[in-house]
Chains A and B, each alone.
Chain A
Amino acid sequence: MTDLDIRQPEGSERTDRWSSSLGLGFWLKMAGLALLDALAVYAFIVFFGEGDWIIAGFLAVLVLLINWVYLWPGTGALRWLTPGLTFLLVFMIIPIIFTAFVSVTNWSTGHTLSKDQAIAVLESKPYLDPDAAEVVFGLAVYQDPGTGELLFLLVNDDTGEIIAGIPRPASAEPAEDGTVDVATYDVVEGDDGLPASVGPFVQLSGARLFAVANELKSWTLDLPNGEAIPIGTSRIRVVQGAQRFVYAPETDTLFDRATDQACTPDDEGSFVCADGSVLEPGWRVVVGFENYWNILTDARIRGPILGVLAWNIIFALGSVVLTFTLGLALALTFNSKRMRATGIYRSIYILPYAIPAFLSVLIWRGLLNEQFGQINRLLSTFGIDPVPWLTNPTWAKIALLLVNTWLGFTYMYLISTGALTSIPTELQEAARVDGANAFQVFRRITFPMLMVSLAPLLIGSFAFNFNNFVIVEFLTQGGPPILDASVPVGATDILITFTFNIAVSAGRGNNYGVGTAITILIFFILVIISSIGFRFTRRLEDIYGGL
């Protein structure tokens, strides 16, 4: 029996394949593999067709590898690892690499496309060619008496063709197409062959037409391939649109036919014309370490980020110290043979730990409200004036630490209790016999021994709180805002909330490049924290490991 060593599962893998290869599991596996392959072939064709070689190639290699693992004999452990590894690769490893890549690009609002896509967008932009032949249509003006909205009806004198549309003020952004289908409205025919009303719009004539005559010229109707501009109360000029930008691949320049000038690409991923104007949209380019350089040298970004970093460290450290102090004190309090009802206490203490943090933080936000919150009400019974918990920078920081203590002390209590019960009591007793007082015993014996097993967890807790997004976002949203800062930043922002605001917050545009650059900085900080953690653990084990 011992010859058939248990550590040779490869051998057994072979038996398994023969014995169960026709079972239900086998067919399920084959069906899954077939489905995966079908989807992969489809995706491959799409990406390949779009010229996305990198994704297509990666996909092909990955799927071939998966097929190899499950179809080839003797791949043993890989069959169990592959599903998890695949997801780890696609949604963890690649995002890490991709984060690093984005951080050296200018990927941001206005620079989200590839160069080819940007050129395609620019080439599709129309302009009104002044040289093109113009056509004059008859114009009938309609107005909705309720809203005052106008409707133009264009009549081609020769063909009788009718185009209807809702105009826009000439100063407004051009719309894609302002025409409407008359057939969708209830049309009441009039005397002159034109409709008297179209839906809510009633034809204007006589005095009512003169009332709007002066402002008619400030309206424009967007047609699918041009514009229609009124040249009086009864005529309208239709101007054909034309392609404005023409790209010449051989010179890599874009010619602007509206202004008759050439536009050349710059290093920043935009076309810049001879007169210095920059065309939108641009495209993403690799800008090297410019994002990092800006973070480190540009005073407008560096200043806020240093403040954020300092508070981030204070917050993480303060959270660990406060929660651990309370948790350990509690564990020591309960560490007595005569203590009863510890189970009941623990069931209560587990509440802050069990309630999802975002829910309790929302609750705390209400409790800490300056005017109506229960905390200030409680304080007022002791004669303390209302505290501006969430609106004053210093108090907001204190509030965050207070709430995080509430959220985290249970965890520290649980791990401290676990560690306390596992250390032998002989040393403590011996020290007491030698005349040490309770504090000395704790300081010299119990605490160092606790730290052997708890230090790694405390460092883990520091790393967790360093990126504790939810508590900041839900309690203060990073606020109160620092008003004179050039980037959106608040007094309680930590790096991750700051990054989030820069990268995806609505309204200010998205700057993925700078956002990912800060993320990489966070990576470095985490690596430092973790390596300190590993080293610290080893050192403690060297000193106390023998005990």
Chain B
Amino acid sequence: MADSDMGRSNRADPITPLVGGTAASARSAGAIASVAAARRRSKKPKEKLPPLPFKRWVREVGWRHLVALIVVFFALYPVVWIISASVNPVDSLSNAKLIPDGATLDSYRTIFSNPALNPFMTWLWNSWKISILAASFNLLLAAMAAYAFSRFRFKGRRLGLLSLLLVQVFPQYLMFIAIFLILQRIGVVFPAFGLNTHAGLILVYLGGAIGFNTFLIKGFMDSVPMSLDEAARVDGAGPSLIFWRIILPLTRPILAVIFIITVVNTFSEYLLARTMLRSTSQLTYILGLQNYTIAEYASKWGELAAGAVVGALPIVVTFLIAQKAIVSGLTQGSVKG
């Protein structure tokens, strides 16, 4: 059956057939690739090689470390300076010393206090709320659709999969004008879901839920043996039970990756949020910081730097932790029996 062939080719390598223009696709694919690479690497432990004489070591290995260190400098340069600026008692971006004289946490104190003057925390809270809610619903919708494509055989299945791919060519944010006008209309009837509401923005984000993520999850679900479903069915379980109790737990690693990526992408989404949200108290972090930058750039560099550190920290930590957690989830969580 042609349909099942398609499933299998996706399983072999879920990322190759996809040419998408969305940030989600680029980022997810990267994460999957890195996970896959890490998995391969962790499977074969480094072989013990005899030590080289120093000159040969420099020629064969040393230069590699040199290149790596130059790139480390490149990668860390802005990160280090932003931390430096955030503890600088003088609100200035020119700072001769890496560790400024009289380093202080005042900038952090400012952004954590006084929400009326510097609503950093309001914006951050808005962003996390919207990102996590949108990503959760997103994941649920994508997983449900993936389940349908992976476990059901129906007319138009192949066409459906193909159309999903084609729609992905147009990233949703390109339609910001049309979405703005539609939301304006919805707001007339349901003000709670109209412009300048978080609920409306979350609904809009769900428009992109099924698409690339559905493919990744479907590829993963295809690798869960059908015999598990069958056994459960013999025991009297229906599709819902199989979905919640068998398929979802077994696809947890990929769901975790996609959840993290979706949260980060939603956190950084600009165009749709900009066209929807207006009042200062409703803004997301990205919009709030931009407004702050325009209004206060020259004078409040320290607070902006602290704001960047506070905004980035949870995500960076998650990335660093998830790197390992997901790899181990992938290597150990393979289906048993």
Contacts and interface: CB of A to CB of B under 8 A. Distances in A.
Query: Which among A88, A357, A456, A467 has the greatest number of chain B C-beta atoms within 10 A?
Result: A88
A169 B150 CA distance: 72
Interface of B: 1, 4, 13, 15-23, 25-27, 29-31, 33-34, 36-37, 40-41, 46-47, 49, 52, 57, 60-61, 64-65, 67-68, 71-72, 74-79, 81-82, 85, 92-96, 140-142, 144-145, 147-149, 151-154, 157, 160, 167, 169-182, 185, 188-190, 203-204, 206-211, 214, 226-227, 229-230, 233, 236-241, 243, 264, 267-268, 270-271, 274-275, 286, 289-290, 293, 301, 304-305, 308, 311-312, 315-316, 318-320, 323
Nearest to A419: B33
B75 A406 contact: yes
A523 B189 contact: no
Given A92-B172, A374-B81, A374-B95, A362 B289 contact: yes
A99 B178 contact: yes
A418 B319 contact: no
Contacts of B173: 467, 469
A55 B178 CA distance: 15
A335 to B, nearest CB: 9
27 contacts: A7-B153, A19-B238, A20-B240, A25-B240, A84-B209, A96-B170, A334-B64, A339-B61, A348-B72, A350-B323, A352-B75, A355-B79, A356-B311, A363-B78, A366-B304, A367-B81, A372-B92, A418-B37, A422-B36, A464-B22, A464-B23, A500-B271, A504-B176, A504-B275, A512-B177, A516-B177, A526-B170
A406 B78 contact: yes
Nearest to B46: A337
Contacts of B169: 463, 526-527, 530
A135 interface: no
B174 A336 contact: no
B67 A330 contact: yes
A460 B60 contact: no
Sorted from nearest, which 10 A-B pairs have the closest CB atoms?
Answer: A16-B238, A91-B207, A463-B21, A84-B210, A77-B152, A95-B175, A354-B319, A80-B148, A418-B37, A372-B94
Given A336-B60, A355-B79, A504-B177, A84 B240 contact: no
A50 to B, nearest CB: 8
B91 to A, nearest CB: 11
A12 B238 contact: yes
A220 interface: no
B148 A358 contact: no
Given A373-B94, A469-B270, A470-B270, A12 B190 contact: no
B206 A91 contact: yes
Contacts, number: 353
Given A366-B85, A530-B21, A12 B239 contact: yes
A329 B63 CA distance: 13
B181 A348 contact: no
A306 interface: no
Nearest to B29: A457
B51 to A, nearest CB: 9
Contacts of A359: 289, 308, 311-312
A360 B78 contact: yes
A516 B210 contact: no
Interface stretch (A41-49, A143-151, A210-218, A240-248): A41-49
Interface of A: 1, 4, 6-10, 12-13, 15-17, 19-20, 25, 39, 42-43, 46-47, 55, 76-81, 83-85, 87-88, 90-96, 98-99, 102, 107, 326, 329-330, 333-334, 336-341, 345, 347-360, 362-367, 369, 371-374, 377, 406, 409-411, 414-415, 417-419, 421-422, 453, 456-457, 459-461, 463-464, 466-467, 469-470, 473-474, 496, 500, 503-504, 512, 515-516, 519, 522-523, 526-527, 529-530, 533-534, 537
Contact of A456 (B19, B67, B74, B188): B19
Given A350-B320, A363-B78, A469-B270, A530 B144 contact: no
Given A88-B210, A96-B170, A537-B19, A411 B27 contact: yes
B4 to A, nearest CB: 8
B211 to A, nearest CB: 7
A16 B267 CA distance: 39
A362 B293 contact: yes
A467 B152 contact: no
B239 A16 contact: yes
Given A84-B214, A360-B308, A457-B33, 14 more contacts: A4-B230, A9-B239, A80-B239, A81-B160, A88-B167, A92-B175, A355-B312, A358-B290, A366-B304, A374-B81, A415-B30, A463-B169, A464-B22, A515-B177
Contacts of A8: 153
Query: Which among B60, B171, B320 has the greatest number of chain A C-beta atoms within 10 A?
Result: B171
A443 to B, nearest CB: 20
B30 A414 contact: yes
A12 B144 contact: no
B40 A338 contact: no
Contacts of B15: 456-457
Nearest to A477: B294
B74 A406 contact: yes
Contacts of B64: 333-334, 336, 339
B70 to A, nearest CB: 10
Contacts of B77: 367, 374
Contacts of A515: 177
Contact of A529 (B21, B141, B239, B289): B21
Contact of A43 (B92, B154, B190, B226): B190
B74 A80 contact: no
Query: Which among A92, A329, A365, A467 has the greatest number of chain B C-beta atoms within 10 A?
Result: A92
B81 A39 contact: no
Contacts of B25: 460, 464
A221 to B, nearest CB: 33
A76 B68 contact: no
Query: Which among B41, B95, B238 has the greatest number of chain A C-beta atoms within 10 A?
Result: B238
Contacts of B33: 414-415, 417-419, 457
A462 to B, nearest CB: 9
A534 B93 contact: no
Nearest to B307: A359
B260 to A, nearest CB: 10
A461 B323 CA distance: 22
Nearest to A358: B286
Contacts of B318: 354
A194 B318 CA distance: 73
A349 B177 contact: no
B22 A43 contact: no
Contact of B241 (A20, A354, A457, A469): A20
